[in-house]
Structure 1
Amino acid sequence: MTSTIPRVFFVIGPAGSGKSSVSRHLAERFGAAHIDKDTATIRFTELLLKLNGSDPNERDNNEFYQNTIMPLEYGAILDLSRDNLRAGNSVVLDAPFGKFFSDDDYLAKVKDRHQWPEAELIVVHVRLAGDALRQRLLARGYPRDEWKLANWETFWAGAQGDSCRWKQARHLDFDNSGASVDVNDFATQVTAGAA
């Protein structure tokens, strides 16, 4: 039996793992709204960082970003998700969510705080080997990746930690080591596990 309630896909993984490509393909495959945190928030994020006298590309080690701006970013995309869910639309959330992994009850808090209607929650763990990940970061050349590349061992040690064990969701792996994104096998896993 297929699910009759909308789904929320939380697409997580380290920078450069291909979250955005996987998210776009999942949104197309499941007819879902694709909400990319950077697209939704980058204009106000960069402005707030500049107004604070901060480098608009430095976020990993910026206390103002981590404590003030980032909660606004996530609040915005979670509210956008609520609006889509209320309209019966599934949602693909393209964001790292790393700061929230340690809270096992995070999803229950999100549903309550953002007044989400009933939805099937699926956490998509995008997987990619370290060498391939480093090459992708180098190839895309984003200024916000400079710290990650300069501090590769520290970044990769944190990226390897699979600490997201949120309750109230299915957790599925997505191997993104291929030359192109293929969602067919993954889509079978999603539908096979539907209530």
Structure 2
Amino acid sequence: MEKSISELPLPTDPATDNAAAQVIEETLIKVSGSPSNTEQNALLNRVVDAWRRRHGKGSPKPILTLVGGYAGSGKTEFSRFLSDITGWAFLDKDSLTRAMVERLLTSLGGDPHDRHTELYLREVRPLEYRCLMETAFDNLRVGTSAILAAPFIAELMDPAWVHRLTNRCAAMSIDVAVVWVRCDVESMREYIEFRGAARDGWKLSNWETYTSTLNTETSPSTAHITVDNRLGSAISLADKTRDTLKRILA
């Protein structure tokens, strides 16, 4: 297995470190556009700063980064890329809660792979997100920044939810960044088919019905940054960035 970015040797001189930081900054600008708001510019600066500090004391102020998007959009891969660069904790909802969700659905007499019925939405989904958020705050309370990968569809469509989260974090001197990963329907289906997860069975069997509920043209108004992963472009660029950093730091 190839080394992750975080496992590569430390830059031995300022010029090498600056070159690596510039590659990271250029990549983030390419996938999300030139910084157009304060929050977008702040996250970009925090990521580059974390790269420079990743083997030092770390940033004095933790940040909570939510990475949302539809199934197959590339949010998990982009979150992993950010974590690899920054060293921030990476929490994926499915990895964290899938076993619990499947057992709970079964105990309630449902399909363990259900992600669309009222049973799941009412009885299980709220617990998933509660587990995810509280695990994030366990990290944040000890000064460790966290990146959360989850759809966050209902949450990011609700400005009041984001406002409450922002206020909760502000009371603890924690910054918040909201990232939405945008992708086209065809690319999402291709990735969903490739990963072959049982939880995607209903989506694939009812694709037209499922996609009729998606808005792939715009991002939630609560998103600070939109990562354009149509045709897999952002993830492809992230992979190229990893290769470039490995050449610089080798």
Q: TM-score range by the shorter chain?
A: 0.7 to 0.9
Alignment-derived partner of residue 58 in structure 1: 114
Counterparts of residues 58-77 of structure 1 (less than 5 Å)? 58-60=114-116, 62-77=117-132
Alignment-derived partner of residue 189 in structure 1: none
In 2, are the aligned partners of 1:82 and 1:114 still within 8 Å (CA)? no
Alignment-derived partner of residue 164 in structure 1: 220
Counterparts of residues 1-195 of structure 1 (less than 5 Å)? 4-60=60-116, 62-110=117-165, 117-160=172-215, 162=218, 164-166=220-222, 171-176=224-229, 177-178=232-233, 180-182=236-238
Report the Cα distance in structure 2 between the residues aligned to 1:21 and 1:94, rounded to whole angstroms: 9
Q: For residue 15 of structure 1, report the CA deviation from its aligned partner.
A: 0.4
Over the matched positions of the two proteins, sequence identity in percent amounts to 35
TM-score calculated relative to the size of structure 1:
0.81
Two-structure CA RMSD over aligned residues (Å): 2.6
In 2, are the aligned partners of 1:15 and 1:137 still within 8 Å (CA)? yes
TM-score calculated relative to the size of structure 2:
0.64
What's the secondary structure of 2:159's corresponding residue? Answer: coil
Show structure 1 runs of 4+ deviating over 6 A: 113-116
In 2, are the aligned partners of 1:79 and 1:114 still within 8 Å (CA)? no
What's the secondary structure of 1:8's corresponding residue? Answer: strand
Q: For residue 45 of structure 1, report the CA deviation from its aligned partner.
A: 0.9
Point out where structure 1 has 5 or more consecutive residues left out of the alignment. Answer: 186-195
When the two structures are aligned, how many residues end up with a matched partner? 181
- The structure whose Rg is larger is 2
Point out where structure 2 has 5 or more consecutive residues left out of the alignment. Answer: 1-41, 47-59, 242-250
In 2, are the aligned partners of 1:33 and 1:91 still within 8 Å (CA)? yes
| More relative contact order, 1 or 2 (CA 8 Å, 6+ apart) | 1
